[in-house]
Amino acid sequence: MNIDNNIFKNILNNKIKANIIYKDKYITAFDDINPKAPVHIILIPNIYIKNINHIDKSNIYLLGKMLLVSSKIAKFKNINKSGYRLIINCNKDAGQEINYLHIHIIGGKYLGNIICNCNKI
Ligand code: AMP
């Protein structure tokens, strides 16, 4: 797929509108267009990485920043005490729809104590 057609890349380039809630040199975060909970934010690196399979040692600082900013956003959104979930989907069995590494920050309601809703196998 041509990266120019990538939705998240186009949000970064201001070609697609999004409600940006955080931006710095390394990271951008915006509201998910189809929220699964009262708080549902997508956090992406400003450099293109297809998914978590495509990271290497040079990305360690960036990944640490992504987690640090996720926790700051959770605090800013006041879900840090009630609780929240960080999700990184990778490839089709996890349901990754957009080929651009991203963290879902989801909270604001009880999410259940299971890590996925897949059927028993
Ligand atoms: P994933 O299944 O992990 O690839 O998640 C992709 C997420 O991107 C889904 O939760 C979508 O609702 C969200 N999404 C798709 N298009 C947009 C958009 N234009 N702005 C914000 N979020 C989007």
Residue with the nearest Cα to atom 3 of ligand 1?
A: 96
pLDDT of residue 115: 63
Residues tagged active-site: 102
**63-72 contacts at long range (C-beta below 8 A, 24 or more positions apart):** 65/26, 65/27, 66/26, 66/27, 66/103, 67/103, 69/22, 69/24, 69/27, 69/29, 69/43, 70/43, 70/103, 70/105, 72/22
Residue 18 C-alpha to ligand 1 middle, in angstroms?
11
Please tell me if the CB atom of residue 37 comes closer than 6 angstroms to any atom of ligand 1: no
- Given the CA of residue 88, which atom of ligand 1 is nearest to it? 3
Both structure tokens of 64 = 């640490």
Tokens 């975060």 -> residue: 29
- Mean pLDDT, residues 103-120 taken together: 80
Ligand 1 atom with minimal separation from the 97 CA: 4
Q: Render pLDDT for 15-26 as a digit per residue (tens, 0 to 9).
A: 999 999 999 999
Q: What does pLDDT average to over the chain?
A: 94
Give me the CATH topology for the region 3-120. HIT family, subunit A (3.30.428)
Provide the 3-class DSSP secondary structure of residue 2.
coil
- pLDDT category, 4, cuts 50, 70, 90? confident
Instruction: Summarize pLDDT for 28-57 with one digit per residue, the tens.
Output: 999 999 999 999 999 999 999 999 999 999
Query: Tokens 């957009």 label which residue?
Result: 98
